[in-house]
Amino acid sequence: MKNAPFHMSLPCLSISKTEDFYVDVIGAELGRHSSRWLDINLFGNQITFTKAGIFNFAFKTYKFEDTVLPSFHFGVIVDEDTWNNLHAKLTKSEYELTTEVVFLKDKIGEHKSFFIQDPNGHMVEFKCFKKPKEMFLS
């Protein structure tokens, strides 16, 4: 199957803070938008944020190897240069991100990852595989 961009729609508390985070902090592109919603082009994937009232996500966790991760999150798999540049940029931002973690070290599917929380409480993961062809292998 050919790779295809994904679309995801998520609630947000503030259109302006969401736009600032994804466009100015992350460096994604702003797509179509209004005062009630906006589309973000996150590495060729469309995320629509819609202004919503108060909402609640229970950030339950799970353990992968020796690391506790948020069960509810979404992310983007990028090449190593993009990952390194984004990690360096976001480390200097006002947003807190998790420490770089390498999963499956010296095994099939080895990858490094970090998480950052957007202004709406969504956990965003950025991940880079040592060997991109191993993304779905076990």
Classified by CATH at the fold level, domain 7-134 comes out as 2,3-Dihydroxybiphenyl 1,2-Dioxygenase; domain 1 (3.10.180)
| Sheet containing 29-33: order of strands | 7-12, 45-51, 37-42, 29-33
Task: List the alpha helices (DSSP H) in the chain.
Answer: 15-19, 80-91
User: According to the model, what pLDDT value does residue 6 have?
Assistant: 85
User: According to the model, what pLDDT value does residue 138 have?
Assistant: 60
Please say whether the beta carbons of 88 and 117 come within 8 A: no
User: According to the model, what pLDDT value does residue 42 have?
Assistant: 94
Three-state secondary-structure class, residue 21: helix
User: According to the model, what pLDDT value does residue 10 have?
Assistant: 85
Q: What is the pLDDT of residues 60-113, one digit of tens each?
A: 666 678 887 766 778 899 999 999 999 999 999 999 898 789 999 999 999 999
pTM of the full structure: 0.77
Phi-psi region of 109 (alpha: psi -120 to 50; beta: other; left: phi over 0): left
The residue ranges of every structural domain in the chain are 7-134
